[in-house]
Chain A
Amino acid sequence: NAGVTQTPKFQVLKTGQSMTLQCAQDMNHEYMSWYRQDPGMGLRLIHYSVGAGITDQGEVPNGYNVSRSTTEDFPLRLLSAAPSQTSVYFCASSPRRWGNSPLHFGNGTRLTVT
């Protein structure tokens, strides 16, 4: 019972490099999302998806790209890493797009951009 799987757990990038954070869920969840966690700011929504082929921007989308070609996968791409993107990133999913189902979270990726 894997749930939400995020890889890698840790990553260090140089400014300007690009990379993809992977997220996969095996629960056939409709809704998937990416959050970043910064001290004193809680978790902020980057992008989300309500199904394969459907994505939309959250609160802090700049510098990030997403796609959802399958129900299971929702990768997050950093196009040109900046020190301001140093953060902990969480992928989360829920069975339905509507509100009463709680999010299931991955274990997070700690990203450092130097």
Chain B
Amino acid sequence: AQTVTQSQPEMSVQEAETVTLSCTYDTSESDYYLFWYKQPPSRQMILVIRQEAYKQQNATENRFSVNFQKAAKSFSLKISDSQLGDAAMYFCAYRTSGRGAGGTSYGKLTFGQGTILTVHP
């Protein structure tokens, strides 16, 4: 079974600075997908960024970018020019492609424990 580990329960950053949230995962698969979700106090789950394992190029979405190291099974999220609205719980997630042997793994999403990000003005 896949596992996802976020080793930083809490992180903080000054407004306009850059912060990196860590995520590692364990899998024997070669084809999979990785996501970062943001959960503000409203409890809503918001997709921040996604990465396909077969792509070597790191994904970028405006101020959010990832550092995907497939061999190291690492998937960190970098937030540049941090804003007060970035304060939230961030979850790293792994999703199987589902196209494995036997086809029984229907794209289940496995989450890390979460990192609470505080942004100081």
Please report A residues at the B interface, Cβ cutoff 8 Å: 31, 33, 35, 40-45, 48, 50, 56, 58, 88, 90, 92, 94, 96-103, 105, 107-108
Contacts and interface: CB of A to CB of B under 8 A. Distances in A.
Nearest to B44: A107
Contacts of A101: 107
B108 A43 contact: no
Contacts of B43: 88, 107-108
A41 B111 CA distance: 9
Contacts, number: 68
B22 to A, nearest CB: 14
Contacts of A107: 42-44
24 contacts: A31-B106, A31-B107, A33-B108, A40-B113, A41-B113, A42-B113, A42-B114, A45-B108, A48-B106, A56-B106, A58-B108, A88-B43, A94-B107, A96-B107, A97-B106, A98-B99, A98-B107, A99-B33, A99-B107, A100-B50, A102-B35, A102-B50, A107-B44, A108-B44
